[in-house]
A and B are shown apart, each in its own frame.
Chain A
């Protein structure tokens, strides 16, 4: 802080204050103020990105590195990579759909002044605020086939739970990790959509009422179109997070059983830090980055089209 103050004083002494500042010194000040941020971001995102590109274009054999496209060639023949990719997409799509539908339903149903709203919101917020590692722990406890609360409760109401081995069953494991994601992140969708609903002006509703629209028609033709920006933002942010999912799966299943829940981030991590193949890991990262970028560009285009239109 003293250093900051010194810096600011120095900036002032150099005549950057209001009285002498014209357009030019504003610009200089702007660059000065932006410099630290740009430096940090260049060092921590752009440089690593460039570094990753060069890593992905090299292969090491016998201790010597040489340039090659082999890492990218391997992508297409690596069935583990393709499986991890498809798991990630299935995971992202299912979780996104469920979170969106549940979130929307909750937002529409609970969009009103009500008693205990603050309390409700605080309660709903809890899961999404938790460290994902803790969420993983919670659900390992809940889903444990022998003494977990889920099977225990089901048994209590007389259900046979021997087949419900959740994360250890190849069929149920993916479902389990998706359910955990839905538990943690539906509140997020709900909150964004609720905020979106509350920002809708009342005039369209009045008009709809005068036209005698039914509740569903109003929802379909008034609420949904006006909610579109909130929906897109919610979907965009969730999609980006879902595509990179790592922590929960790492804790809950470590990609198993077999390969059933291995996601792309997990496979990249394993390739880099378990098999020490940094080059191939970097090549796979690019595919992930590319997919993320294409999808977010798609959302942003829709969003901007609406803004300008």
Chain B
């Protein structure tokens, strides 16, 4: 009995000492928080390359999109300093930057003898890393140049004599026609839906709605900064979204990127607003049933010309990062032209003009001209530190309207009232 107890105690002591060891002080160690997905994978691989070239060890922490923001916010506001570098989606940036949670990059650039960020960065991309937008101090560099594109099945469009949709009305007419005619046209004999939307609450619904909203003349905020989503234009845009939803697969009000991607890859949907990260998947035979059949173009317009939502991935250094200098070295290295080209070859759109025109890349990614057009004319989501809360609320109402729980008028009026409350609280 006593011997046994002794063994147990020794084991526990060992385990416990192991448990307290977690804070070892390797000087050349960086911790990097990335999105799990193709964008994060590219940075992860870059980190492995970097490790091979230098003596720096990089710990990667990977989170799905939905949790990454939370984890970063917790670490940054708690000033725990666990992350040396964070990858962040651009709409999160105002929240972090306005609360002074990031390290200003200009002094670090100057210490390297640089005046400012490379002029090669696309204007709309580098503007995202400044607080205030476009004009303020620089806190982040853009790494992945995502902006929305319209994906459509060129084979089906050709088959039914449809031309590339330049307006949302044309897109709707095409969606209707394909839905009606292609009842057995999918691989395996199923129905092809004319359109596939993602309208799950939160980021998904808002991202798919914004281009329609803008094209119809809607604006989140009026000139005085008051919310204005329930303007006649805004309500008309939501009505249109529901109209388009009639040609979307059932249950789309809870679709996220994965469901939309699956429908397009399986050939069961003909059109969608989507992100460039998916482009390479369509030519991967192990995943795609529509190889060579997908075309990518800039977004349709309506009252206003079509403009995509920008959704760049930025990299920043938290204010309380433990190894700022080393982190900055890596940041510069990873966003350099040479490294970003490697990332582009791994399927991530660059944020540098030179790479969008790089002959090797353009032959490989034929959508690059369309992507650059879309990126340069893209709009950011409203730059407010409350975007995260606003998007949450707005997404809930958009999702409710799409699932039929609320009428478009009610949804927009209620969303407007809730957004007003958020702004009021923030004062």
Contacts and interface: CB of A to CB of B under 8 A. Distances in A.
Contacts of A274: 69-70, 73, 388, 392
Interface in B207-243: none
Nearest to B13: A1
Nearest to A276: B77
Interface in A254-306: 254-259, 270, 273-276
B250 A162 contact: yes
Interface stretch (A17-25, A36-44, A120-128, A163-171): A163-171
A234 interface: no
B66 interface: yes
B297 interface: no
Interface stretch (B142-150, B167-175, B398-406): B398-406
A276 B399 contact: no
Given A259-B396, A274-B73, A170 B403 contact: yes
A214 interface: no
B77 A256 contact: no
Nearest to A259: B396
B112 interface: no
A170 B405 contact: yes
A148 to B, nearest CB: 13
A274 B427 CA distance: 19
B253 interface: yes
Contacts of B200: 256-257
B400 A259 contact: yes
B292 interface: no
A257 B395 CA distance: 10
Nearest to B10: A1
A168 B254 contact: yes
B201 interface: yes
A256 B201 CA distance: 7
A169 B400 CA distance: 11
Contact of B73 (A79, A80, A168, A276): A276
Given A61-B427, A258-B253, A275 B399 contact: no
B399 A273 contact: no
Given A256-B200, A256-B201, A275-B389, A165 B73 contact: no
Nearest to B405: A170
A270 B424 CA distance: 19
Contacts of A270: 392
B187 interface: no
Contact of A275 (B9, B388, B418): B388
A79 B417 CA distance: 11
Interface residue tally on A, bucketed by range: 20 to 34
B74 interface: yes
Interface in B1-37: 5, 9
A145 interface: yes
A145 B405 contact: no
A257 B406 CA distance: 13
B201 A258 contact: yes
Contacts of A276: 73, 77
Contacts of B369: none
Interface string A147-184: 00000000000000011010111100000000000000
B251 interface: yes
A64 to B, nearest CB: 13
A257 B403 contact: yes
Nearest to A4: B9
A259 B201 contact: yes
B15 to A, nearest CB: 13
B40 to A, nearest CB: 20
A258 B77 contact: no
B66 A273 contact: no
A273 B74 contact: yes
Given A168-B251, A274-B388, A257 B69 contact: no
A59 to B, nearest CB: 9
Contacts of A162: 250
Contacts of B399: 256-258
A273 B73 contact: yes
A165 B400 contact: no
Contacts of B403: 169-170, 257-258
Interface in B385-427: 388-389, 392-393, 396, 399-400, 403, 405, 418, 425, 427
Interface string B236-263: 0000000000000011011100000010
A273 B70 contact: yes
Contacts of A257: 200-201, 253-254, 399, 403
A104 B77 CA distance: 49
Among A145, A168, A258, the most chain B Cβ lie within 10 Å of the Cβ of A258
A83 to B, nearest CB: 10
A145 B9 contact: no
Nearest to B205: A258
Interface string B188-211: 000000000000111000000000
A287 B251 CA distance: 34
Interface in B357-403: 388-389, 392-393, 396, 399-400, 403
A201 to B, nearest CB: 38
A152 to B, nearest CB: 16
Contact of A258 (B73, B251, B388, B396): B396
A122 B250 CA distance: 41
Contacts of A165: 250-251, 254
B126 to A, nearest CB: 27
Nearest to B399: A258
Contacts of B393: 80
Contacts of A80: 393, 418
A151 B81 CA distance: 46
Interface string A223-262: 0000000000000000000000000000000111111000
Nearest to A272: B74
A45 to B, nearest CB: 21
The 7 closest A-B pairs by CB, nearest first: A168-B254, A257-B254, A165-B251, A1-B9, A258-B399, A258-B400, A170-B403
25 contacts: A1-B9, A2-B9, A80-B393, A146-B262, A162-B250, A165-B250, A168-B255, A169-B251, A170-B405, A254-B66, A255-B201, A256-B200, A256-B201, A257-B200, A257-B201, A257-B253, A257-B403, A258-B253, A258-B403, A258-B405, A273-B70, A274-B69, A274-B70, A274-B73, A276-B77
Interface of A: 1-2, 61, 74, 79-80, 145-146, 162-163, 165, 167-170, 254-259, 270, 273-276
Given A258-B399, A258-B405, A274-B69, 5 more contacts: A74-B425, A80-B418, A167-B254, A168-B251, A257-B253
